[in-house]
Homo-oligomer: A and B are copies of this chain.
Amino acid sequence: MSESYRAERREQILAAAGRCFSRRGFHVTSMDDVIAEAGLSAGAVYGYFRSKDELILAAASRAMDLIGEVLPELARTGSPASLLERLLSLMVELSERFGFDPTRVAIQAWGESMRNPAVAAVVREGYQAVRAHIAAAVPAWQRAGLVAADADPDEVAKVLFGLVPGYIVQRQLLGDVRPDGYAAALRAVTRDAAG
């Protein structure tokens, strides 16, 4: 069997796990659920992932890949609000490419992180990367007068990044937020008049 065959099969299982986990969470989903969703046998799944924990970790990592897709976007100029709007829009679009909603898996991963150091590490590293990219954009905003000149770019990045979990939670639980409205409201409270 070729390398690519194995990778494809792994992807098939991971996609099935993603669908299951995003529906019911890591711990309510049973391996049998994943196995049935993947259309394989128990042995086949365990041939690609050695344990449920390994599958959880892989699914959490996969959900964090969303970040990788979004990072290049962060390099583009613009105001904080326009950045946020592109970020949130991308998140929604990209969910389709995953076959499941990675933001739902991310919420699970937050909870799992509190007792699972491997998952915690994956999430932490992903979020640190995003924050670092945002922080890199801050000096330009400071020069443009969009952010106070004496602010610590790292702290500003924490706040801007921190808007994302809030959006995710509200989208999943309240269901009444949209990228454009969210960005518009951010503009209304920031120094960014036009975006």
Which DSSP category, helix, strand, loop or mixed, fits chain A's interface?
A: helix
Size of the chain A interface, CB-CB below 8 angstroms? 59
A-B contact list, 30 entries, CB within 8 Å: A23-B114, A25-B111, A27-B27, A107-B110, A107-B111, A110-B172, A113-B173, A114-B172, A123-B173, A127-B170, A127-B173, A148-B187, A150-B188, A151-B184, A151-B188, A152-B184, A155-B182, A155-B184, A156-B188, A158-B170, A158-B176, A158-B181, A159-B166, A159-B186, A159-B189, A160-B189, A162-B169, A162-B177, A165-B169, A191-B191
Q: Which residues of A contact B (CB under 8 A)?
A: 22-28, 80, 104, 107-108, 110-115, 120, 123-124, 127-128, 146-148, 150-152, 155-156, 158-170, 172-174, 176-177, 181-182, 184-191, 193
